[in-house]
Amino acid sequence: MAALLTTRFVPTREFIAGPADVADCLYSFLSSRGTAGQPQHVQFGRSVVALNFHGFTDDTRYDRALKPARAPQLGPDFTIDVIDGAASGMPQLKLAWQGADFGRKRTVPGWSDEDRTTYLLPEERGVAVAEWTRHRAAIWVPSCDAVPWYERAAPFRWLFDNLALRLRMSMLHAAVIGRDGVGVLIAGRGGVGKSTLALAALGRGLDYVADDYCLLTDDACPKAYGLYVTAKWKKDASVLPAWLMRTTPDALDLSQRKCIIFLDVARPAQLVAHLSVAAIVVPSIADVAEPRLESLSQQAALRSLAVSTVAQSEADGAALLRNIGRLVRTVPAYRLHMPPDPDASVSAIEALLGRKISEPEHAVRH
């Protein structure tokens, strides 16, 4: 490692003209640098992604929140190389992009096409290029210190949005919980109680896939896969499931005041790879003594799920909306009127799951 740290990379041109050149530059640097050691294979729905961290140490790399691949011996479907610029000796690239090239998200539309997507990572002041037909992406960050906590808690979400669609999945802004292989997808914008309900369900012994983001397959009987092993909750939340009040978080996201826990350690038996989606539940805190489920129209379910998903996604919004449209026509949706105690609301989810598991057509599915 010491020898590698002395390597200085000098870009051949002062300003880089476009995404192909950014990719050339990053991969030329990686070639000149040699291998990063054994890649980490992580599970990405039904697929496997290989991760190579360059210049990072075991303490600074940020793949802890991802799930190790169930069959790491299989070749990866996609490879991500992450470069710590300071530790690797690769300075910030000078890029010939202009203000008009940027959009409202991380994707840089003016520097993206069908085959390549360029990303600006504003918090890190980093840059990334995904080359979809070559099944790879390279990410440059100025240093490991520039990687924010939310990225460490849910790494590469901005990249995974697009990758998911290309692998016939959709990355949704939703929590997923269930039991016996059957789950409900909990949808709604941040703050409606998705994570709180998912964590309360975890405390009551239900299986857990995700508290914030999941991967949905486009099968006739859709499955939701978990991507991250982390669960998050607000440090100053006024309402918390009882078990979390007794739990010491593994980490704290100082910027968003969110507590983070690694469930593969805290609750490994309940962290399942995937569940078949049998219903969509949209929580809403209400002035009720008991939780109550109310049927929700397809279009209301679409809005609850699609708007926050698409607003935050870097992927093709029309394709996402189509996939979500298919989902809401496939499974029923409910609004869950939740009393202030989130633990009390889990009983409504358990009752719903009990009905779904016992339905004959569902037995056929599984």
Binding site for other proteins (CB under 8 A): 15-16, 92-99, 102-106, 120, 122, 125, 189-190, 297-299, 302-303, 306-308, 310-312, 316-318, 320-322, 325
CB of 128 to other proteins, least distance (A): 14
Q: At what angle do helices 298-312 and 317-330 cross, to 10 degrees?
A: 150
Dihedral angle of Cα 202, 205, 206, 212, to the nearest 10 degrees: 10
Q: Are 277 and 270 in contact (CB under 8 A)?
A: no
Altogether, the residues listed in the chain come to a count of 366
Q: Which is nearer to other proteins, 319 or 344 (CB)?
A: 319
CB of 16 to other proteins, least distance (A): 8
Q: Which helix (H) or strand (E) holds 85?
A: helix 85-88
Rounded Cα distance between 28 and 10, Å, is 11
CB of 18 to other proteins, least distance (A): 12
Q: Are 41 and 69 in contact (CB under 8 A)?
A: yes
Q: Which is nearer to other proteins, 153 or 206 (CB)?
A: 153
Q: Are 211 and 226 in contact (CB under 8 A)?
A: no
Q: Which is nearer to other proteins, 52 or 323 (CB)?
A: 323
Q: Which is nearer to other proteins, 80 or 328 (CB)?
A: 328
Q: Which is nearer to other proteins, 189 or 234 (CB)?
A: 189
Rounded Cα distance between 347 and 78, Å, is 40
What is the amino acid identity at position 270? Answer: Q
CB of 118 to other proteins, least distance (A): 12
CB of 337 to other proteins, least distance (A): 20
Q: Which is nearer to other proteins, 39 or 325 (CB)?
A: 325
CB of 70 to other proteins, least distance (A): 32
Rounded Cα distance between 324 and 176, Å, is 15
Q: Are 161 and 117 in contact (CB under 8 A)?
A: no
Q: Are 271 and 264 in contact (CB under 8 A)?
A: yes
